[in-house]
Amino acid sequence: MVTAAGLVTVGVRAGDAPPGAAGVPPSSSVTASAGATTSAGATAAPPSRPVPPRRPGVGTRPRELTTGPVLPTSAPVRLDIPTLRVSTGLIGLGLQPDGTMEVPGDAATAGWYTAAPTPGSLGPAVVAAHVNLDGRPGVFTALATLRPGDTVEVARADGTVAVFAITTVQRHPKDRFPTEAVYGAIDHAGLRLITCGGDFDTARRSYRDNVVAFARLVRTERR
Amino acid sequence: MRLRTMAAVAPMLAFPLVFAAPAAAQESVQIQLDALNKSGVSGTATMTAQDNGDLTVTINARGLVPNAPHAQHIHGAANGTDFMCPDQSADKDGDGFVNTEEGLPDYGDIFVSLTTSGDTSKKSGLAVDRMPKADANGTVTYRRTIKAAELPAGTVKFLKDLHIVQHGIDVNDNDKYDLEGLGESTFAKSLGVSGIPEEATNPASCGMVSGAAAGSMPAGGVETGDGSTEPGGQPVLVILGGLAAAAAGVVLRRRPRTDS
Ligand SMILES: [Cu+2]
């Protein structure tokens, strides 16, 4: 899709970006189709939906209002992102007293937000992990390098593995976080991977931006 | 990266350690209400599981019989059966209307009665004195939080399998439920109540799940880094040109060959 779109490679290297930038301009999005007419979801989703319906008849009815495969609710236990060589356990994350989301206590663990749908079921599942912490690269150190179509696998307590395809990777200032796009209602089984990016504000000891990778369920495996 | 082999256990003062056992997901299910029996009703509803297990139900529907009470229920089951809303083919007796009994095989039994006060069990299914009344424009606006203890077991877990059905139509356009319209309700009669018009019990709308959202939205961004390393990746920016007129500011990055 890259050549078809008429690419101009300007060869901006990471070193040209602001220090600590994860490589995505604020509020920009990276999609397979970029400026083309189709949506990000349409480009990254496979042409067919190979997941069998979860129960006989489900998904084949003409009046189904949701799109794509959907799994029943089941807690996630493990996260694998093959292209980033990420394989990690998942803990539960709730809200802190100030209303922000809890985050994992170490660099090597990712967490899922328990006040959102479980990965694979209808709606936006949310997984957060550090880009770095205490001198260590975090699980999501390279999250901003994910590309549309890359797969993300979430093993669930019910023995299924929900396989997602990245649709878009975006970077947003934390003070303009796209709350509705990340946590709001969607008509499919989605997944959002969140970490930090952009400039590091040394005074506040905080990155100015969040990198959010959006994905949707494409199939289910059983292991 | 080889993070999978790392067991980072250094105390992090800036970030709370979280070992929360994953609870059942707390989510908000969106429902699209579509007309049944050519009622002209449309609307939306939400069912939101609260962190204490309570369920908040909201309904906004229009096109209902004005100034009339509308029995409304959550239909379905908490056993994995995914019921659907019926279409006109469910009209087995061919009278032109899908009545409540004819709809049951599709949308399931009454699971929760969406009354305005008091009992919410199936027993209150026809408690029209506690059902919401449409305003003079035929709009029903409903919001109620039902306590966890009053919900059937498995309600939250199987939330996405449930449906909302509103009842009450006016086929002879006299702005009321009357026996002149469709005669006596066979459904009410089957429950031992005589003299209820069929108009009062026939479904006016049925809602299926159209989407889901987080049950509660975190404030702002997420604190997932302390700046202590360079983020991995060293991405190469590629800017789209040509056809991609709208691509200004849109970048594609190549994945680096090296790993951090
Ligand atoms: Cu009903």
At residue B233 the predicted structure's pLDDT band, cuts being 50, 70 and 90, is low
**B228: nearest CB among A31, A134, A195:** A134
Residue B202 and residue B31 in contact, taking contact as beta carbons nearer than 8 Å = no
Neighbours of A80 (CB within 10 A): 17
Could you tell me whether strands A110-113 and A86-93 are parallel, antiparallel, or unpaired per DSSP bridges? parallel
B-chain CB neighbours of A133 within 8 Å are 8, 12, 15, 225-226, 228
Q: Tell me how close the Cα of A129 comes to any Cα of chain B, in angstroms.
A: 6
Domain ranges across chain A: 2-60+68-222
Q: pTM of this prediction?
A: 0.77
Lowest pLDDT segment from A111-120, B6-15, B49-58, B96-105: B6-15
Average pLDDT of span B177-198: 92
Residue A167 and residue A215 in contact, taking contact as beta carbons nearer than 8 Å = yes
CA of B201 to the centre of ligand 1 (A): 8
pLDDT of residue B240: 30
pLDDT of residue B232: 78
pLDDT at A43 exceeding the cut of 50? no
Determine the Cα angle at A215 with ends A212 and A219, to 5°: 160
Q: Would residue B137 be called left, alpha or beta, if left means φ above 0 and alpha means ψ between -120 and 50 degrees?
A: alpha
Q: Write phi, then psi, for B165 (nearest 5 degrees).
A: -125, 130
pLDDT at B87 exceeding the cut of 70? yes
pLDDT at A91 exceeding the cut of 50? yes
Residue A205 and residue A164 in contact, taking contact as beta carbons nearer than 8 Å = no
- Extract the tokens encoding B127: 């408690």
CATH placement of domain A2-60+68-222: 2.40.260.10
**A196: nearest CB among B22, B24, B225:** B225
Residue A76 and residue A154 in contact, taking contact as beta carbons nearer than 8 Å = yes
**A92: nearest CB among B23, B243, B251:** B23
Mutate to test the interface with B, among A16, A24, A86, A136 (most CBs of B within 10 A): A136
H-helix or E-strand spanning residue A41: helix A40-44
Q: Write phi, then psi, for B235 (nearest 5 degrees).
A: -70, 150
Per-residue pLDDT tens over the stretch A194-219:
999 988 998 988 999 999 999 999 99
Per this entry, what is the length of chain B?
A: 260
The Cα–Cα gap between B192 and B186 comes to 10
Please, where are the H alpha helices in chain B?
A: 100-107, 179-182, 186-190, 198-201
> How many CB pairs (< 8 A) connect A and B?
357
| SS3 label, residue B188 | helix
pLDDT at B137 exceeding the cut of 50? yes
Mutate to test the interface with B, among A27, A132, A208 (most CBs of B within 10 A): A132
Tell me whether residues A12 and B236 touch, CB distance under 8 A.
yes
Task: Show Cβ contacts of residue B184 under 8 Å, excluding neighbours closer than 6 positions.
Answer: B194, B195, B196, B197, B198
pLDDT of residue B248: 33
A-chain CB neighbours of B234 within 8 Å are 13-15, 23
The Cα–Cα gap between A121 and B209 comes to 12
Residue B152 CA neighbour count, 13 Å, CB half: 19
Report which of A6, A27, A14 is spatially closest to residue B236, judged by C-alpha positions. A14
pLDDT of residue B2: 35
In terms of Cβ atoms closer than 10 Å to its own Cβ (0-12, 13-18, 19+), residue A108 is: buried
CA of A60 to the centre of ligand 1 (A): 24
- Extract the tokens encoding A138: 């975090």
Query: Structurally, what CATH architecture does the domain formed by B28-208 represent?
Result: Sandwich (2.60)
Q: Write phi, then psi, for A89 (nearest 5 degrees).
A: -75, 165
- Extract the tokens encoding A118: 């479980």
B-chain CB neighbours of A93 within 8 Å are 18, 20
Mutate to test the interface with A, among B15, B98, B206, B222 (most CBs of A within 10 A): B222
Could you identify the residue written with the tokens 């699980």? Answer: A139
